[in-house]
Amino acid sequence: MAINIRQGRSFHKTLYSATVRVWKDKVTVRCPELGLMSEGKDKGEALYNLREEIRRYLEAFNAPKSHRDPRDIVVTVVPG
């Protein structure tokens, strides 16, 4: 489950977990909380793409803007 952190009066960070799989020519990441997947040529690109997928997902479901800001979406890699 995603965790919301409140700091100050209106500052939010939303934490999600991600599992990483490395293939021959690409890296695949999965966010189990939302059932989203993304990929990239390296881990950094794959995680960036996953944050963008999460942002679009939250936007589609009209989440508050404070939770949709890509700077406030934190993805933590967990063993998977």
**Two tokens at 14?**
């939303």
Residue 26 has pLDDT above 90, yes or no: yes
- Of residues 29 and 13, the one with the higher pLDDT is 29
Annotated domain spans of the chain? 3-77
**pLDDT at 74 (0 to 100):** 83
| CATH (residue range 3-77) | 3.30.160.620
Look up tokens 């919301």; give the residue: 4
Residue 39 · residue 25 · CB < 8 Å = no
* Residues 40-78 pLDDT 10s: 999 999 999 999 999 999 899 888 776 777 777 888 888
CA dihedral 66, 60, 34, 36 (to 10 degrees): -120
